[in-house]
Amino acid sequence: MEIITQLDGDEMRIALRGRLDAAWSNSVNKSLQDTVHSGCHRIALDLSQVDYLSSAGIRVLVVLAKNLNGIGGTLRLVDPSPTVSEVLKLVGFQQLLDTFKTPVPAPQAGPVVKAVPVAKTVKLAGSDFDVYTLDGAAEQQGSVIGQGLINHPVSLAVPEHTWVIGHGMLGVSGNAERAGELLAVDGLAISLPGDDPQHPDWLQQEGELVPEVSLLHGLSATGPFRYLLRFGVTPEMPPLRLSELAQAALEICGSDTVSWVIVAETAHLIGAALQVSPLPPGDELFAFPAVRDRLLFTAEPAYTEETCLIVGVIARNPSLPLATQVRPIATDSAVQMHVHACIVPFSPVRKGFIELPESLDHLMDNQIVRGVLHLLNDDREGVGAGESYLRRGALWCAPVYFNGEVSA
């Protein structure tokens, strides 16, 4: 089997030559999935020189069609050979494609459908972003939980328009041994249990069941997002540093303190994660050399070519109480952050305008969480691993205001 690819605008044309059978289906499937992974969501598949198509080959085409449909992409079959055309006709493959292309009829009466915002291309932090204004007046109200670790966790529900990060556990139980790295947003809560860090756990909203978390130390905020920023919108765009994305969010919001949620395809991530519960608190938690058994630190780029969810806050010259919860994004930088990320197996992020709840649902399709990290910039001279890079994705952001009181 010969595979020839050629990019034509934003459509990738892929010509196959030979037999698409069990012997070649894995190779062809990998090539097609790599194309989607590279950011090409429109594919034209030239089958004019494919002289045999088995059930294994049909499965490759069905999986590709379903994946592209799920992210708003398109698949065109170009000039299938008579043999292939007959097989596709017998299995009803064209009907599958037509089903994907057929829009759902609009209801004759009912609630008014919310208009989709129009994107504007804006240069922020030196890069081009497609910017959608969701609510030009949207703001969030934040709370700081504990200046240090607290012995009595604060229970928080995580419905729509709510996010939480810090050290804590799922649910409202007082099982402090399970406390670890935690992030939650819009009905999805994910934690790295302190008593079992090899198995990240999560709760997702189902019907009227809204996830709750118990937080020992961290941040929470409520309110809608003001903007949606899309980055890496074309395959040739290079990955962006996390600090570049932070600067872009600060610029577009025109605020010194901004909350953000990102769903993105990773180039790599840099961070750390507690491998034990932070309780009972004490000065010995980070003592050397025992800290090596208590803290996972990415001494080199990790989680390459995966998909991640990032939640947190970025602030320029923050004041108390927020200042107790953030750290400089780089040495001597006025911009500081507290950001957590969870990582799942690679799944392409749909292009264009997308809603956060649907994006979170898609993120958990595989029901697998690879890990949870507190992201940081390892800028140690000569030996540091640098910072996280993201290839493409969606960034929701809004100004956030933290009150002057610290929850206990």
pLDDT value at 280 more than 90: no
Using CA of residue 263, residue 231, residue 244, residue 220, what is the dihedral sign?
A: negative
Edge-to-edge strands, sheet with 42-53: 2-8, 11-20, 42-53, 74-78
What domains sit in the chain, N to C, each tagged with a CATH number?
Answer: 2-101 (3.30.750.24), 120-407 (no CATH)
pLDDT score for 233: 86
Separation CA 155–CA 173 (nearest Å): 9
Between these two residues, 90 and 305, which has the higher pLDDT value? Answer: 305
Task: Calculate the average pLDDT of the chain.
Answer: 88
Find the radius of gyration of the CA atoms of the chain.
23
User: Of all residues in the chain, what percent carry a pLDDT higher than 90?
Assistant: 58
Rounded to 5 degrees, what are φ and ψ at 86? -65, -40
| Per-residue pLDDT at 74 exceeds 70 | yes
The reported pLDDT for the residue numbered 405 is 43
Q: Which is more confident, 315 or 208?
A: 315
- State whether residue 250 is helix, strand or coil: helix
Is the pLDDT at 208 greater than 80? The verdict is no
Tell which wins on pLDDT, 130 or 280: 130
Residue 299's DSSP bridge partners are none
Q: Does residue 406 carry a pLDDT above 50?
A: no
Higher local confidence (pLDDT), 199 or 292: 199
Per-residue pLDDT, averaged over 163-173, amounts to: 89
Is the model's pLDDT at 155 over the cut of 60? yes
How far apart, in whole angstroms, are the C-alpha atoms of residue 285 and residue 278?
7
Helix (H) or strand (E) holding 31: helix 22-37
Q: Per the structure block, which two tokens stand in for 362?
A: 């898609």
Residues 164, 170, 176, 179, CA torsion sign: negative
pLDDT of residue 407: 45
Q: What is the pLDDT of residue 401?
A: 96
Q: Predicted confidence band at 274 (pLDDT cuts at 50, 70, 90)? A: confident
Q: What is the mean pLDDT of residues 16-31?
A: 89
pTM of the full structure: 0.85
Q: String of b and e for 90-112 (b: at least 16 CB within 10 Å)?
A: eeebeebbeeeeeeeeeeeeeee
Inform me whether the pLDDT recorded for 328 exceeds 50. Answer: yes
337 strand-pairing partners? 314, 327
Q: Is the pLDDT of residue 149 over 70?
A: no
Residue 231: which residues within 8 A CB-CB, separation 6 or more? Answer: 127, 129, 130, 237, 240, 245, 248, 264, 390, 392, 393, 395
Query: What pLDDT, on a 0 to 100 scale, did the predictor assign at position 231?
Result: 97
338 in Cβ contact with 219 (< 8 Å): yes
Query: Between residues 22 and 393, which one has the greater pLDDT?
Result: 393
Q: Is the pLDDT of residue 102 over 80?
A: no
What does the pLDDT look like over 248-260, one tens digit per residue?
999 999 999 999 9
Instruction: State which of 191-195, 274-278, 354-358 shows the largest mean pLDDT.
Output: 354-358
Q: Any idea which of 49-58, 112-121, 226-235 has the lowest mean pLDDT?
A: 112-121
Which pLDDT tens digit goes with each residue over 211-241? 899 998 899 999 999 999 999 988 889 999 9
Task: Indicate whether 273 pLDDT > 50.
Answer: yes
> Please, what sign has the CA dihedral across residues 262, 266, 267, 272?
positive
Q: What is the pLDDT of residue 185?
A: 98
